Structure 1
């Protein structure tokens, strides 16, 4: 799925976002239409026009730009190079803007926040030909977005109270949508929980940070309850969550399905709170990664051997996307400056 300027391929994901004026009590699937015109891009980028298109090939890094100005939040693409942990070429800037995005198999999942005081998220799904698939209204502030590898299953998390995972008052809402059947699970908190082999229920349960396995039924996520966080294995059809191991947040499943990269709480200091680790699902062995900065993000996989994630810039309000080897060796590499919410396109 590469953004290109060829008129002979399918059109680029470009969509207008209507301002939502009512509170979304849960998520409601509705139809969506419309698209904005292209804008002038930031210096050093290629800007798409109305003849722009979208290729369904693999090997492109998709992210939202965090350059200050009118293009903040605009999706951009760069080609992933043959050199591990790097990309090539000048970024290609689209006209679609997201707070959080993810792409897989020619499908784009885009989360947008309403700007008014009534906090409502717009969850938009598009296919490779620009045809709108679904639009979902969800209460809260967009926070996490994921698709299954074949683009069938979509999940998203919003903050519905508080604004960070490092405070005691946060509350999340995580929903899951089967794009093939249209079945929507409004809140994963309704799923039955097995905690350490026993049925469990508590009013303080929060679920966030979904990542899908290849069967479109199994998924992993974070369960927060009783002052602890757990990696849970979910069954979408059975509506169940089963704990695997504690102190795991925002997991992301590797392309081969054998490992998850996650953020581990290692400190109460907000500037040193998280460390990235990789968990082997067969042995439950944890491998600390070379990245020493605190990373408050749901990391993604650049390939089977490399993870990528956003880090706040030291100066300014933007982010940069970095990569590091998944085996704990090596050192972090700057993958894309002024970038956030990375994912890699797949055919």
Structure 2
């Protein structure tokens, strides 16, 4: 274990950020949540202080750095819906691009040199060769993906011009929940396929809408690489240690290397819950691609990371348990 660090976690009251805060605390660190609670939950802030603030507000950021004195930053604060980004691109360029630049500027002003950034597989777009590795050409198909690629490019340029050291972690579909049931997935609105399907199966939400069953995939439904949120949390702690030990700035894929279709998800929920998932099929969403799944060979080599909790059964089981025990409607 590395020596205790104070980690400013932007977006730490959200789904992935809160699981990372729990992992940081378990590894002896102090997570300081920086969040405006626009989509996060104060009840998810359990392992360190909450500093209220907006990522796009320089005064809020400078106040947090001046009062909290973090040793490094983990950056999750962002808008993250592909369909919404197509309809409202300005929101994504302001929150994701401008917000990240203001965070990086505050880091420079306060002498903080290490950052681990939440990126996304959406930077790749519609890939012709699978699995996707980090050398795959970047061709994002949505403003969301383009905003995240911009942040990666900014990190690279700033790192070349200064002593900033960074890791960008390109997630392939976070899923599942804390097995201890302290935190879980709770978005408003919910757009992720697994919680929507579970809620439909348990009678907690309307029938699931499947956006397209005519993709060029074996069963016609979209294929994605689902990674348990606890495995993602471990990767962030490992990335922090990697930077502390002098690792070079880089981007890493976080995925299982296995593609799972929407039909696979519905079948697994039925088997584990005992309930069918009522659903209907509508047109594909703008910007959606048929299949995305990762090679995480570099994360294994450099970050000593292997997903151990990301079987589809475990993802569905932990998510089911979260909804059965904690979800009673709006957050």
Q: What TM-score does the superposition give when structure 2 sets the normalisation length?
A: 0.30
Report the TM-score, using the length of structure 1 for normalisation. Answer: 0.29
Q: Which has the higher helix share?
A: 2
**Which one has a larger percent strand, Structure 1 or Structure 2?**
1
| More RCO (CA 8 Å, sep 6+) | 2
